[in-house]
Structure 1
């Protein structure tokens, strides 16, 4: 009989999964001018982990990643990209047969977590305000952390976050960024702050505006941001058709 546990709309049947292939999702969000990543706080140990899990026997990696994202965020149609395979033989060597974050009364196969497994890294870009953060069965919290918070992650999960950020920076050099991270309407300073946060450095305001407008991926709206001064900045939105074209064909130049 297959063992099963259920919590927060998440099911886990060890015999339903492959025990040597997993995936970990670095889910980026932008809030209060900070780039954040969605994390899980494990039971008992209170360690941090990335949302992820093992691959089901009857699903593709992309289906598994979308399943994990849906369960943790409540969202679908998310920008999602596979970026790296993590296969260091030592990454899971010290996993105990019974991880400390597993409750005694939860059924599972004793050796399932003790085996060596390879994980595939995905990163996703989401609108922070639309996420319904939901913990999995092994966690007591699902919460946002600043990407600079590097302590108390299990295995190589902070390394996975760093690598995802590097790939995101590379994408920013050749493709547009922002549609999945910003609200529908935003100001030019907000978009510039997003780019600066990802790149980790300041950008010249005039050069940034000239360059981003040259890509023709923005629509300037006939309204200003509410709640500001009389000359508060104008609002923009992404032109989705041109934005998608830029994603497919790439952008010229670099930041």
Structure 2
């Protein structure tokens, strides 16, 4: 989807002219998507630049960090009401020194002094989530040319340090997979142990023996066993489960 270039330039100009942001602080959202045994991450593409980046932005003076993350995510992707978890702060002194903003503004013929706040050092706070990407329609805003899902091991050329942020977010998701799966609605209300194992194997990128996995999961006491699932096949009918704290 192409955007109107004059509107794009107008919105960029309004952004750099504002002085209502917290200085040197931004938020970036790493949205991982699971569907059909594939793990992907949602990225945006700069208009007129062959670079991809995470949904992110600046923090207004009158909002909390989490509010900023939710707002920015919605503005960039139209995603809302999803579980966002803060996972890391990124503050390397050279993390934004690849001239992305300079190139973008130059392409739009917007003159900005070299000491402008948008060129200064920014520390960013990362938020992540795990969702079913088949249920998501994303929409580019005036700053983006497109939104797209990429497999986590096949990332395109990234802006800033966003590849590092993705890798850190993936590590966090994997360390907290039990919480993430319960909070993310990746599975239907009732699911089989095999369906749950598929999610774990895809996110963690490893295989489990069925009996070992079932023993490990049941030891967490987070599941409630329900009736058996009969699908008409000759195979032994598996039990259905649901998360114990789901209503």
Whether TM exceeds 0.5 here: the answer is yes
Q: What displacement does 1:87 show?
A: 0.9
1:83 corresponds to which of 73, 80, 87: 87
Matches within 5 A, 1:55-94: 55-94=59-98
Bigger Cα displacement from structure 2, 118-127 vs 209-218: 209-218
Does 2:161 match 1:161?
no
Q: What displacement does 1:40 show?
A: 0.6
| Cα distance between partner residues in 2 of 1:225 and 1:39 | 40
Does 2:238 match 1:236?
no
Contact 1:187 1:225 in 2 (8 A): no
2:181 is matched with which residue?
A: 178
| Cα distance between partner residues in 1 of 2:79 and 2:225 | 28
2:138 is matched with which residue?
A: 133
Contact 1:178 1:191 in 2 (8 A): no
1:21 is matched with which residue?
A: 25
| Equivalenced residues, count | 232
Contact 2:21 2:59 in 1 (8 A): yes
2:148 is matched with which residue?
A: 143
Q: What displacement does 1:4 show?
A: 6.0
Deviation string, structure 1 residues 186-215 (Cα, Å, up to 9, x no partner): 332221122122222211111111221232
- Go from structure 1 to structure 2 and tell me whether the alpha carbon gap of 1:96 and 1:220 turns closer, same or farther (over 3 Å shift): closer
1:5 corresponds to which of 3, 11, 28: 11
Contact 1:96 1:114 in 2 (8 A): no
- TM-score, normalised to structure 1, is 0.78
Contact 1:19 1:115 in 2 (8 A): no
Contact 1:96 1:113 in 2 (8 A): no
Q: After the TM superposition, which parts of structure 1 deviate over 6 Å for at least 4 consecutive aligned residues?
A: none
| Cα distance between partner residues in 1 of 2:233 and 2:117 | 59
Contact 1:40 1:49 in 2 (8 A): yes
Q: Which runs of 5+ in 2 are unaligned?
A: 1-8
CA RMSD in angstroms comes to: 2.9
| Cα distance between partner residues in 2 of 1:24 and 1:183 | 26
- Go from structure 1 to structure 2 and tell me whether the alpha carbon gap of 1:219 and 1:108 turns closer, same or farther (over 3 Å shift): farther
- TM-score, normalised to structure 2, is 0.80
Q: Which runs of 5+ in 1 are unaligned?
A: 243-255
| Cα distance between partner residues in 1 of 2:82 and 2:101 | 34
- Go from structure 1 to structure 2 and tell me whether the alpha carbon gap of 1:97 and 1:155 turns closer, same or farther (over 3 Å shift): closer
1:200 is matched with which residue?
A: 205
